[in-house]
């Protein structure tokens, strides 16, 4: 039973890290779910206080991730069109350009989204697209850091309980 739960928990940790880049998967929450599943293994014990605090951190990062691109776009003069465009651009960029789509998709999506809303202001649309891109990467960075921190906790826990698990 332990081995099955350890493997499922590891899958959720990895999925959460991938969710740092994929907008459809809530990265921090998914990684935290991996820690929670690990806690259900009969031989492994994680402190309840740790689980509560780590969940709160994951939830705050998840919520902030929805506002950071908006703040980045607004800081550089953009609006809702650039924010929605950056999310759509990320998905389309990943589908057609692979890893390069992570960089190009949000920028061009935000640019097109802002131009659709305000076609006359091309210079402002470029600034807004740049702001949305900065906001997007800030969110990705935060989610990645939390996902990696949860992965480190996962491996430290496995190391701590290695005698019991083997």
Q: Is the pLDDT of residue 47 over 80?
A: yes
Supply 7's token pair: 């493997």
Going from N- to C-terminal start, the domains of the chain cover 2-165
Q: Considering Cα of 6, then 10, then 13, then 16, what sign does the dihedral take? A: negative
pLDDT tens, residue by residue, 74-98: 777 777 788 788 778 878 887 888 7
Give the Cα separation of 6 and 14 in Å (integer): 12
Give the Cα separation of 16 and 133 in Å (integer): 21
108 or 67, which is more confident: 108
Looking at residue 113, its pLDDT comes to 86
Total number of residues shown for the chain: 166
Cα–Cα–Cα angle for 128, 62, 153, rounded to 5 degrees: 130
Q: What's the average model confidence in pLDDT over 15-36?
A: 90
H or E stretch including 91?
helix 80-97
Helix, strand, coil fractions of the chain, as percent rounded to 5: 85, 0, 15
């Amino acid at each position: 039973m332990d081995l099955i739960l350890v493997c499922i928990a590891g899958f959720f940790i990895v999925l959460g890290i991938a969710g740092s880049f994929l907008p459809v998967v809530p990265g921090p929450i998914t990684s935290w779910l991996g820690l929670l599943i690990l806690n259900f293994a009969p031989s492994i014990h994680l402190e309840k206080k740790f689980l509560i605090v780590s969940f709160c951190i994951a939830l705050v990062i998840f919520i902030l991730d929805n506002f950071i691109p908006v703040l980045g776009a607004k800081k550089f003069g953009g609006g809702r069109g650039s924010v929605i465009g950056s999310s759509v651009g990320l998905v389309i960029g990943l589908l057609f350009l692979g890893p390069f789509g992570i960089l190009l998709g949000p920028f061009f999506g935000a640019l097109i989204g802002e131009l659709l809303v305000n076609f006359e202001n091309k210079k402002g649309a470029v600034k807004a697209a740049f702001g949305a891109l900065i906001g997007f990467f800030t969110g990705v960075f935060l989610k990645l850091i939390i996902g990696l921190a949860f992965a480190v906790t996962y491996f430290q826990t496995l190391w701590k309980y290695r005698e019991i698990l083997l």
